[in-house]
Copies of this chain bind each other. A is one copy, B any other.
Amino acid sequence: MTTIPRVQALTFDVFGTVVDWRGSIIAEGEALNRTKGLTVDWGAFADAWRHMYGPSMDRVRRGELPWTNLDGLHRMCLEELLPRFGLDGLSEAERDHLNRVWHRLRPWPDAVPGLARLRTRYVVATLSNGNVALLTNMAKRAGLPWDCILSAELVRAYKPDPVAYTSAATFLGLPPDQVMMVAAHPADLRAARAAGLRTAYVPRPLEWGPGHTAEPVPEGEFDVTARDFLDLADKLGA
């Protein structure tokens, strides 16, 4: 067990860290292939959709787009993707349902039992670029036992904007060094650390599918490194 004095709350990145967005989109997409007699490569579709997310947020950050929540950005990206994958024929209701696949993502197998243990000792909250409705619907469906839903949407500042991290600590009523960011992405953790939060790295080598590896990080760069949320609970004494 690592001793991290004074940490009261854990804030979690969600896409990739808590839920398997790629596997979930593939599973729903392949069901759609069967229903509609399609042959879409949903792994490629999921990867393309996810790759459009950063640039679309950058347009909001640069002020080229007014504030747009993640449901809105996902939908803009989706409209670009559909013709590229031969899916122009989807109806408005089908497009809306597909866009909300992000509300239906499935957790990694350790996520729910790990959070249940961590929650006994810490406040556990999301800290995601996903919007509040997306995170709330996902949690309800998947049984993710959050104490609180925190989102970039609350302050209209997408991670890695420092305000996203510092406002989370403010909303939790804690100084930043009593809050630990948990993420599978070193860049997220580096931004959290620069904002004064503690950091826990949980690599998710399967995030982009089999055959990928997690980004290597220098030994000791983050306060804690854990294999999964159960290992994190062990290491944080929960």
Q: Which residues of A contact B (CB under 8 A)?
A: 71, 119, 123, 125, 131-134, 136-137, 139-140, 147-149, 153-154, 171-174
The answer on a CB contact under 8 Å between A139 and B147 is yes
Besides A136-B148, A154-B171, 12 more A-B contacts (Cβ < 8 Å) are A123-B137, A123-B140, A131-B171, A131-B173, A132-B148, A132-B171, A132-B172, A133-B173, A136-B147, A137-B173, A140-B147, A153-B171
Among A123, A131, A148, the one with the most B-chain Cβ atoms within 10 Å of its Cβ is: A148
A174 cross-chain contacts in B, Cβ below 8 A: 133
A171 cross-chain contacts in B, Cβ below 8 A: 131-133, 153-154
Shortest A14–chain B CB gap in Å is: 14
A132 cross-chain contacts in B, Cβ below 8 A: 148, 171-173
A123 cross-chain contacts in B, Cβ below 8 A: 136-137, 140
A134 cross-chain contacts in B, Cβ below 8 A: 173
How far apart are the CA atoms of A132 and B123 in the complex, in Å? Answer: 12
How far apart are the CA atoms of A137 and B148 in the complex, in Å? Answer: 9
Question: In chain B, what residue has the closest Cβ to A174?
Answer: B133
